[in-house]
Structures are given as structure tokens and as C-alpha cells.
Amino acid sequence: MIRPVTTDDAAQICEIYNRYVLETAITFEEESVSVAEMLRRIAEASKLPWLVWEEKGSLLGYCYAKPWRPRSAYRYSVETTLYVRSDSVGRGIGSGLYRKLIADLGAQGIHAVIGGIVVPNEASVALHEKLGFKKTAHFREVGWKFGQWRDVEYWELILGTSERQV
């Protein structure tokens, strides 16, 4: 069910994501993402995992990690993203994908996992809390979508506390 993304998944990922882009404030992207752009994003993530949940040839969700910031001192910190197809919400797909992503990140030596949530979003907050994330920031009115200001919270999960050898 859960597997690494392939370039063949880009069109279905766009179908899942673009619904959120066009119909919700959950993402601050405001225009549909093309398959070519999604392929570029997948290719850009060569060192960090992108995962999909597939059933009978259909993608029901996807998640990925990207570098938190570009400076080298941030190399053990990532930001995560997760989307589930709207007709598949509530089936444990998000939890399953996120748990696998966190496990893969831990195996790669990642120390801090950061999730950004446009609030209000009770389901995403509950998921992050269930997986052990702690709220670390609340930014007021940092995004403008659908005619109103939106707040963003950041949630963090520390995977390890040992000092890294550089």
C-alpha cells in the first residue's frame, strides 16, 4: 500500500493536491499545479522521501519531506507535507503515511521534523498531536487566501537527541 513515489504518480498527485489548492485554504498555493511542475518537485527531492498510498492502481494519499531551510546547519531538519484524497479521509491513510515517512526520516539521520498547518484545521492538528508533535509557533495573518487573512502554526517532532558527527 505505501511505497516510494515514481514519476508515473505525478498526475494522480496533482489530482489530489489541486483539489486542496482550488477549494481549501489548507495550502497557500492559489493556482493548479501542472504535471510538469509536480515532476520537477519530485525530481528535486532526490535525497528525501516522497511516499504514496496506493490501492488497486489509485493513489489515495501522498507525503514528502523537504529541507527546512537551505543553510547547511539546518541539514538535519525537514518540513513535511501530507495530503489525502478527499474521499479517503478518515481511513488511517494520513497516519499510516506519516508514520512511514517519520520512520524513513529517522533512518536517514534526520533530527527535527516540522509540519506547518494553516489553521483552523482540527484534523491536521489532531494528527500531529497523535504522532507526538508539539506546537512551537503560531503566526497570525501570514497568508491571504479566499479573501481573508490566514494563520499558520508550526509543529515539531524531535526524532533524536544525540549530537551529530559532521
Q: Is residue 123 assigned to a domain?
A: yes
Q: Is residue 9 assigned to a domain?
A: yes
Q: Is residue 163 assigned to a domain?
A: no
How would you write the pLDDT of the chain (166 residues) with one tens digit per residue?
999 999 999 999 999 999 999 999 999 999 999 999 999 999 987 789 999 999 999 999 999 999 999 999 999 999 999 999 999 999 999 999 999 999 999 999 999 999 999 999 999 999 999 999 999 999 999 999 999 999 999 999 999 755 544 3
Its domain, for residue 129, covers 2-158
Q: Which three cell numbers stand for residue 87?
A: 474521499
| Report field, pTM of the whole predicted structure over 0.85 | yes
Task: Provide the CATH number for the domain around residue 123.
Answer: 3.40.630.30
Q: Is residue 37 assigned to a domain?
A: yes
Rounded distance, CA 57 to CA 4, Å?
14
Q: Is residue 166 assigned to a domain?
A: no
Domain count for the chain = 1
Q: Is residue 38 assigned to a domain?
A: yes
Distance of CA 166 to the CA centre of its chain: 27
Q: Is residue 164 assigned to a domain?
A: no
